Homo-oligomer: A and B are copies of this chain.
């Protein structure tokens, strides 16, 4: 179990120029997206780079919800620049793009598919040394600053997949809650749902000692090892923060305490799921995002249609946990209680339904779209959604309860309408 370096505090971003000096960096690649390039988080980084005389080039072409094409564009930039350090300022889209750019620039003779997760790619282990990468998250969601994961939308296959290797984990994550203050409501909400699902999924994932096959050599252990006593601590702690602060953070941009706590929770949940893994909400979310039709979410300042990652995971969560609760129902009930359910008279066999109802109420209170139908899907899309879930074995196998194709169909169907 490996855990990242993080630095936390209001304003700690101002030291980033010094960090780069300490790393001896002479040519820094600063990555962000177009929208953020004009906002305070990027400004704070630029000021520090200027103050410490750091030589850098900026790439602000990161695509929100990146694709293979957009990864390749960033990789090309990185290869040309011959950088000796990277700084990613943004949400998961930016951090993930920067991880990929760092990886492929360090491994110029690799094909793109070499490092992409099997069975879609070849899932080769990373053996080249990467350059240091400092991640500065600006959403409160992915926890990508703490994980060795980079996710993209594989356009050709219409499915999201990723690269997973400890080697691409950032050298340092700078968790500066000031950066959360510029987030509009729906970005706080959707990225917060990602935290919620990271915590719930890693807490309910297949326990580490029930996973099989057990690799014969510890070096072959996957990054996602199943739920375990260490990731449980992070998952539960993150879930408690979500229960206490997510609604406040969404509703009031001035609520610094709530926004700061969600920013930390995002990293905590990242450490948890980065070791334990996620399962069905995430596995099913990849086709939900990948097959997007015309949905354009409020508050996202982008020119293409997209289903924000956090929304794509949370919409199936009531159905998923109703399905998985027969294994370890006590954990499902505990999660429901943390999220506010009164479980004093609950029967353990109702754990799944209770958690599902609690989640539905949580989402309803926050005006979340009413299920997959509200974001453009109908029954006719279910076969394609199932087909897109099948190759996500890396995560779906961590579900405590195995699923057939019929099960997946039923889960998508149950997620069409929530309220």
Cross-chain contact A230 with B15 (CB below 8 angstroms): no
Give the interface segment out of A2-10, A185-193, A315-323, A334-342: A2-10
| Copies of this protein chain in the complex | 2
Sorting the interface of chain A by its residue count into under 10, 10 to 19, 20 to 34 or 35 or more gives 20 to 34
Within 8 A of B (CB), among A15-34: 15, 18-19, 22
Within 8 A of B (CB), among A201-221: 208-209, 217-219
Which chain B residue has the least Cβ–Cβ distance from A15? B218
Q: Does A296 contact B (CB under 8 A)?
A: no
Which chain B residue has the least Cβ–Cβ distance from A271? B3
Q: Mark A249-285, 1 if CB is under 8 A from B, else 0.
A: 0000000000000001000100000000000000000
Which chain B residue has the least Cβ–Cβ distance from A234? B233
Which chain B residue has the least Cβ–Cβ distance from A5? B2
Cross-chain contact B264 with A19 (CB below 8 angstroms): no
Q: Does A366 contact B (CB under 8 A)?
A: no
Q: Does A229 contact B (CB under 8 A)?
A: yes
Q: Does A237 contact B (CB under 8 A)?
A: yes
Bound CA–CA A2/B7 (angstroms):
9
CB contact between A6 and one of B1, B22, B218, B264 (< 8 Å): that residue? B1
CB contact between A8 and one of B4, B19, B229, B234 (< 8 Å): that residue? B229
Cross-chain contact B1 with A7 (CB below 8 angstroms): yes
Within 8 A of B (CB), among A369-411: none
Cross-chain contact B209 with A9 (CB below 8 angstroms): yes
Q: Does A228 contact B (CB under 8 A)?
A: yes
Which B residues are in CB contact (< 8 Å) with A208? 9
Bound CA–CA A209/B6 (angstroms):
15
| Given A7-B1, A8-B228; A219-B264 close (CB under 8 Å) | no
